[in-house]
């Protein structure tokens, strides 16, 4: 069974701060995706990374896939209240995505 561990589980910060959340596994994935989910809604895809060591930037968000394709990180610069939500990572293998339990981020104004 492939497991994805996300840390921290909860994170509460002030507007303007930087933060990094992590997604770790003992398994190798062919791809890794990050999603953001707001209460009562479906997850929204943020990014897909497929190459070990790959770095992708999406405005203030920076995503990195580990060299061994077992882990990933999401860094947010100058967080804003609109960044509040549940951040989920999902590892892809063949036909399945395995999701971590997420990091619940709260950005206070």
Partner 1 sequence: DSGVTQTPKHLITATGQRVTLRCSPRSGDLSVYWYQQSLDQGLQFLIQYYNGEERAKGNILERFSAQQFPDLHSELNLSSLELGDSALYFCASSAGQVSSYEQYFGPGTRLTVT
Site residues (vs partner 1, CB under 8 A): 30-31, 33, 35, 40-45, 48, 50, 88, 92-102
Alpha helices in 1-73 (DSSP H): none
Identity of the residue, 48 or 62, whose beta carbon is nearer to partner 1 in the bound complex: 48
Give min distance, CB of 85 to partner 1, in A: 13
Identity of the residue, 49 or 76, whose beta carbon is nearer to partner 1 in the bound complex: 49
- 75 burial (CB, 10 Å; 0-12 / 13-18 / 19+) is middle
Identity of the residue, 44 or 55, whose beta carbon is nearer to partner 1 in the bound complex: 44
Give min distance, CB of 48 to partner 1, in A: 6
Coil, helix or strand for 92?
Answer: strand
Report the Cα 82 to chain-centroid distance in Å: 16
Give min distance, CB of 97 to partner 1, in A: 5
Peptide bond into 8 cis (omega under 30): yes
């Amino acid at each position: 069974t492939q497991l994805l561990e996300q840390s921290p589980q909860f994170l509460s910060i002030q507007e303007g701060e930087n933060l990094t959340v992590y997604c770790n596994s003992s398994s190798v994935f062919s791809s890794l995706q990050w999603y953001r989910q707001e209460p009562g809604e479906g997850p929204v895809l943020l990014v897909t990374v497929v190459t070990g060591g790959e770095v992708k930037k999406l405005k203030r968000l920076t995503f990195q896939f580990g060299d061994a394709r077992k882990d990933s990180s999401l860094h947010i610069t100058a967080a804003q209240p609109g960044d509040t939500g549940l951040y989920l990572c999902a590892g892809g293998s063949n036909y399945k995505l395995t999701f971590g339990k997420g990091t619940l981020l709260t950005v206070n104004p």
